[in-house]
Amino acid sequence: MAEVFIGLGGNLGDRAVNLERARAALASGVLKPTAVSSLYETEPWGPVPQGRYLNQVMGAETALTPQELLTKLRAIEMRLGRDRECEQRYGPRTIDLDILLYDDIEVAEPGLEIPHPRMLERAFVLVPLFEIAPDLVVKGVAIRDALVRLDTKGVVRFAGPDARTSHS
């Protein structure tokens, strides 16, 4: 079994419900969850004006290869209403599922880069990742060290009435 970390996020519809549905889909045969971070409300990233995101990171084990896992993540996104063909890059989306890490391997293929190529630059990834795996090192950089170099003011633990962090 490989240890993986998956980034979950979205800013359309009922964001917390979308993340809950994604977690449930991931846990039903795709992954064996080992840790799930709190939900964090975050500022949108990128050039497109849009609403705030909810983000989360799940640690898990899987028997799938990185390519098989990516295929499963894309299928879950589609089931939850994401249409990558019709959306604007870095624009709003119902759900976004990214492979952040897969064991200690590096993959550089069209459509799949592991570790996620920009994860060390994104507070919305590192804050929830640090919550569940504070001692991780990515490409020789401790995530705690990467995190102190980032502005984390826009990453706030979500405390809404529908904040869900169960392993469902």
Residue 96 among the catalytic residues: yes
Q: Which of 74, 98, 103, 157 is catalytic?
A: 98
Task: Report the distance separating Cα 39 and Cα 149, nearest Å.
Answer: 22
Q: Which of 82, 122, 144, 157 is catalytic?
A: 82
Q: How far is CA 148 from CA 104, 127, 133, 152, 155, in A?
A: 23, 10, 15, 9, 13
Q: Which of 96, 118, 145, 149 is catalytic?
A: 96
Residue 157 among the catalytic residues: no
Contact 143, 121 (CB under 8 A): no
Residue 52 among the catalytic residues: no
Residue 79 among the catalytic residues: no
Q: Which of 15, 21, 23, 93 is catalytic?
A: 93
Contact 7, 97 (CB under 8 A): yes
Catalytic site residues? 82, 93, 96, 98
